[in-house]
A and B are shown apart, each in its own frame.
Chain A
Amino acid sequence: MSTSHEESHSSPIRVLSIDDNPVFRAAIRRFFDRQPGFVLLDTLADGEAVAVLSVEVPPQVVLLDLHIGSHLSLDLIQVLQQKWSACKVIVLTFDDRPGYREAALRAGAAGFVSKLSVATELIPAMITALQTSPSGGNRDDHAGEQR
């Protein structure tokens, strides 16, 4: 079976991270530095930065912290998908209490990963998310970016 990820094996998957914890942002940068096949475009501290972010090519996957400050960030999923229609949003969190996963998926997230399991679950979740849409892994698909 051919997948969007397999088709784009020569182009790194473009990732954006949104997380209010600077220590985590630095750590996820180092994590992707060691992941062949993925490139972290940027790390943002909050959703407001998304509105003014200008990237040459849109991210294919956005890693979104469930809690930014004292607020749930699920409303941001729609904002992200309006800006980059093809992007997949994976919600990352330490807060895996019952109900949050379902709420994230209902809000449009393509995946939900506990921050306790980043090493083993994040990359598979991203690949699965990209496989759900033929446009997800295509580097040349800029149609979703609204400038």
Chain B
Amino acid sequence: MPASSDKNHVLIVNDRQEILDSIARFLSAYDDVKVVGTARGLEGAVTCARELQPHIVVCDYSALKPAMLERIAALRETLPRACMIVMSYDDESTEQQAALEAGASDFISKFNLADDLLPAIRRCSFVT
């Protein structure tokens, strides 16, 4: 974990740049959150995670499929202490359960990021 922990360092993973930009813009309004990086795919995410050592990874569900267990494991290996928040348009309990069983810390709907993302980040806050 980085020495500086006055903010929650967040890495965002999504395949669409407009979503990465939107979430980064949204989170920039909060003093306890710092978006340290964005990645458009899981390979880039692992590289970013290694370099940036974020506290929290906000990752799109589709970026984790089809080999969700292996992909979450790859991120976990790089960031053993990080929280992983999975976001998806599909908020069915089966998908939520699959993500949580694969090692995700939390699961939120992409249709409600404005309300749910910040509380999810703060639930696994590293800021003291």
Residues of A within 8 A of B (CB): 21, 23-24, 26-27, 30-31, 67, 94-97, 114-120
Q: Which residues of B contact A119 (CB under 8 A)?
A: 109, 111-112, 115
Other-chain contact of A24, B22, B25, B89, B109 (Cβ < 8 Å):
B89
Least CB separation from A97: chain B residue: B25
CB distance from A115 to the nearest CB of B (A): 7
Other-chain contact of B62, A23, A31, A96, A115 (Cβ < 8 Å):
A23
The CA-CA distance from A115 to B112 in the complex, in Å, is 8
Q: Are A30 and B90 in contact (CB under 8 A)?
A: yes
Q: Which residues of A contact B51 (CB under 8 A)?
A: none
The CA-CA distance from A117 to B113 in the complex, in Å, is 6
A-B contact pairs, 29 of them (CB 8 A): A21-B16, A23-B62, A23-B89, A26-B89, A27-B90, A27-B111, A30-B89, A31-B111, A67-B18, A94-B18, A94-B19, A94-B21, A95-B18, A95-B21, A95-B22, A97-B25, A115-B22, A115-B111, A116-B23, A116-B114, A116-B117, A117-B112, A118-B111, A118-B112, A119-B109, A119-B111, A119-B112, A120-B112, A120-B114
